[in-house]
């Protein structure tokens, strides 16, 4: 009898041990903000802001210095994340499209493999999330103050500042997780998306400094008149209401075009809704700051260059204040992992759905294949696999995120995913066999915002070739080594014809490789 009990206990012990061993698969936390430019993360550049918590991920893991997206706009980037496929194949080319949630996505594959999957925050794909055991997402673009949160049962307003609210939902998902399973949690911030409404506790930050103007702030678009020159995203045209947070007496005669006719018509109303959405306490704190600085603005009676540069300061400072909350909340998640013994077996990824213009070329917004918007931050921490403080110069993109996450989980990467797992670029397994060019394709024209013409192109370590099409037929070539700000279009330069030919061949090869050969003009 005793022997039987011992034998039974041994079998039970072995079984439990096997189950525990199976659970050693790493957890994954994927944090993605919205429109967070590399130049506003101190691990990339310390010109504008210190981001100690995002930097901590980079310092304890790897920073990708050359990280990009395939189509620099919100919803399409999210579809690329989920599917690991270019926009023409996941069928979400621009923000008007609805995501087809019946297609294969990495969360579905993780779920099938026994992972627990959850998303908190911005979704922005119109259809309901699929592949998640739990989803609690912002309605549409979401609001900065007291956002409406949707889940499978309906929606409700949650009082608080959006970055804190999203992190509360994420921490709640972690606290209530099924501890028998590894988890994959997506934390998608709204910030720092337009219209850059900071938390009241950060309103005073950056008040006493003048941010430096980017070198290309007064770009005259010479040699790029029909492309960069026709985009409607200049800081000069921002709204005094929603963008600048002035009061009705200041924007009664609003003239900014601000990117979109419909929004232009509704901008003051949209702004008043956002403002009225605050609780009395929030609005009192808000007014305590803006009433004073707006009064100073009125007294200065600015015009011309002085007014434009004032708009730049207000825009970028509010943007940075929003990032302050994102970074604080990244810190809260890292602290939770530390305090709960999860840090050693949890992958942490921080990225954005694309980059953004912070005054470069006189712009805000994204869309273009030019550097500031094609780039996106990417830092990854996984103790034991990634050495602290690694930096990779390889060309990587958001196409690689899904394969990388699946690879962490030990799940086979489907053949039709078009990215490459990044694991071969870090730690002891560094490989030299890596892509030498990236393919890009942007679609949202002539409908949509900001009048950025349709374009596709190829970027290598040194060069970028772009073809703008639809109602133009314009090529641009930039030598990123000689001209990193992309001011000089060399497409017609006699001495560059050889490189133009090589890049056109490479472009054709990439279009064939990724199946983007049937381009609608």
The contact set with Ca ion (CB under 5 A) reads 34-35, 74, 353
| Residue closer to Ca ion, measured from CB, 86 or 475 | 86
| Least distance to Ca ion, CB of residue 390, Å | 27
CA distances to 32, 139, 170, 177, 498 from 133, rounded to whole Å, are 19, 19, 13, 10, 53
Measured from the CB atom, the residue of 34 and 390 that comes closer to Ca ion is: 34
CB of 344: closest distance to Ca ion in angstroms? 32
The smaller minimum CB distance to Ca ion, of residues 36 and 467, is found at 36
Nearest approach in angstroms of CB 65 to Ca ion is 21
Q: Which is nearer to Ca ion, 35 or 254 (CB)?
A: 35
Q: Decide whether 38 or 116 has the Cβ nearer to Ca ion.
A: 38
* Cα–Cα dist 381/333, whole Å: 13
Cα Rg, the chain, nearest whole Å? 24
* Alpha-carbon gap, residue 486 to 478, rounded angstroms: 6
The tokens describing 372, both together, are: 């500031």
**H or E segment to which residue 155 belongs:** strand 154-157
Q: Which residue is nearest to Ca ion (CB)?
A: 74
Phi, psi of 219 (to 5 degrees): -55, 130
Q: What angle do CA 485, 483, 35 make, to 5 degrees?
A: 25
Residue number with CB closer to Ca ion (95 or 423): 95
> From CA 333, how far away is CA 186, in angstroms rounded?
12
> Least Å distance between CB 252 and Ca ion?
31
The Cα-based distances of 389 to 109, 342, 414, 465, 474 in angstroms read: 31, 20, 31, 32, 41
Round to whole Å and give the CA distance between 300 and 318.
20
The distance of closest approach from Cβ of residue 104 to Ca ion in the complex, given in angstroms and rounded to an integer, is 24
For Ca ion, the closer of residues 74 and 308 by Cβ is 74
Shortest Cβ distance from residue 35 to Ca ion (Å)? 4
Shortest reach from residue 489's CB to Ca ion, in Å = 27
Q: Which is nearer to Ca ion, 216 or 398 (CB)?
A: 398
Question: In angstroms, what is the minimal distance from the CB of 129 to Ca ion?
Answer: 18
Contacts of 261 (CB under 8 A, 6+ apart): none
- What are the residues facing 379 on neighbouring strands? 63, 350
297 in Cβ contact with 313 (< 8 Å): no
* Residue pair 167/188 in contact by the 8 Å Cβ criterion: no
Residue 31 or 334 with smaller CB distance to Ca ion: 31
Nearest-approach distance from CB 75 to Ca ion, in angstroms = 8
Token code pair at residue 17 = 């041990």
Q: Is residue 303 exposed (0-12), middle (13-18) or buried (19+ Cβ within 10 Å)?
A: exposed
């Amino acid at each position: 009898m005793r022997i039987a009990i011992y034998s039974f206990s041994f079998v039970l012990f072995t079984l439990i041990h096997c189950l525990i061993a199976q659970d050693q698969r790493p957890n994954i936390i994927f944090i993605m903000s919205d429109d967070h430019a590399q130049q506003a993360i101190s691990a990339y550049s310390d010109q504008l802001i210190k981001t100690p918590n995002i930097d901590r991920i980079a310092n304890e893991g790897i920073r990708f210095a050359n990280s990009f997206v395939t189509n620099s706009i919100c919803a399409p980037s999210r579809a690329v994340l989920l599917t690991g496929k270019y926009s023409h194949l996941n069928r979400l080319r621009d923000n008007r499209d609805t995501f087809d949630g019946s297609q294969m996505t990495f969360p579905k594959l993780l779920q099938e493999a026994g992972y627990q999957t959850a998303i908190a925050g911005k979704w922005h794909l119109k259809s309901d999330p699929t592949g998640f055991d739990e989803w609690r997402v912002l309605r549409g673009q979401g609001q900065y103050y007291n956002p409406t949160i949707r889940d499978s049962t309906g929606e409700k307003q949650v009082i608080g500042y959006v970055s804190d609210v999203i992190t509360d939902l994420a921490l709640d998902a972690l606290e209530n997780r099924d501890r028998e399973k590894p988890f994959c949690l997506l934390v998608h911030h709204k910030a720092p998306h337009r219209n850059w409404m900071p938390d009241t506790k950060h309103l005073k930050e950056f008040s006493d400094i003048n941010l430096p103007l980017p070198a290309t702030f007064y770009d005259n678009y010479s040699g790029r008149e029909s492309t960069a020159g026709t985009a409607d995203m200049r800081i000069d045209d921002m709204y005094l209401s929603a963008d600048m947070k002035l009061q009705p007496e200041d924007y009664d005669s609003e003239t900014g075009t601000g990117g979109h006719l419909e929004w232009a018509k509704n901008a003051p109303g949209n702004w008043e809704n956002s403002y009225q959405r605050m609780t009395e306490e929030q609005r009192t704190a808000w007014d305590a700051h803006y009433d004073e600085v707006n009064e100073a603005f009125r007294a200065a009676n600015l015009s011309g260059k002085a007014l434009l540069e004032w708009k730049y300061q207000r825009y970028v400072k509010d943007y940075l204040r929003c990032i302050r909350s994102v970074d604080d909340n990244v810190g809260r998640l890292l602290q939770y992992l530390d305090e709960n013994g999860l840090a050693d077996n949890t992958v942490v990824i921080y990225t954005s759905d694309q980059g953004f213009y912070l005054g470069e070329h006189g712009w805000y917004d994204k869309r273009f294949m030019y550097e500031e918007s094609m780039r996106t931050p990417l830092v990854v921490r996984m103790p034991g696999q990634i050495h602290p403080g690694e930096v990779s110069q390889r060309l990587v993109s958001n196409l690689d995120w899904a394969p990388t996450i699946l690879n962490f989980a030990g799940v086979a990467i489907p053949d039709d995913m078009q990215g490459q797992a990044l694991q071969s670029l870090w730690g002891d397994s560094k490989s030299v066999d890596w892509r030498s060019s990236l393919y890009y394709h942007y679609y949202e024209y002539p409908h949509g915002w900001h009048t950025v013409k349709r374009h596709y192109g190829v970027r290598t370590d040194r060069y970028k070739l772009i073809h703008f099409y639809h109602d133009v037929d314009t090529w641009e070539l930039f030598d990123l080594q000689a001209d990193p700000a992309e001011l000089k279009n060399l497409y017609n330069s006699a001495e560059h014809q050889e490189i133009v030919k090589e890049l056109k061949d490479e472009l054709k090869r990439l279009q064939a490789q990724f199946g983007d050969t049937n381009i609608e003009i």
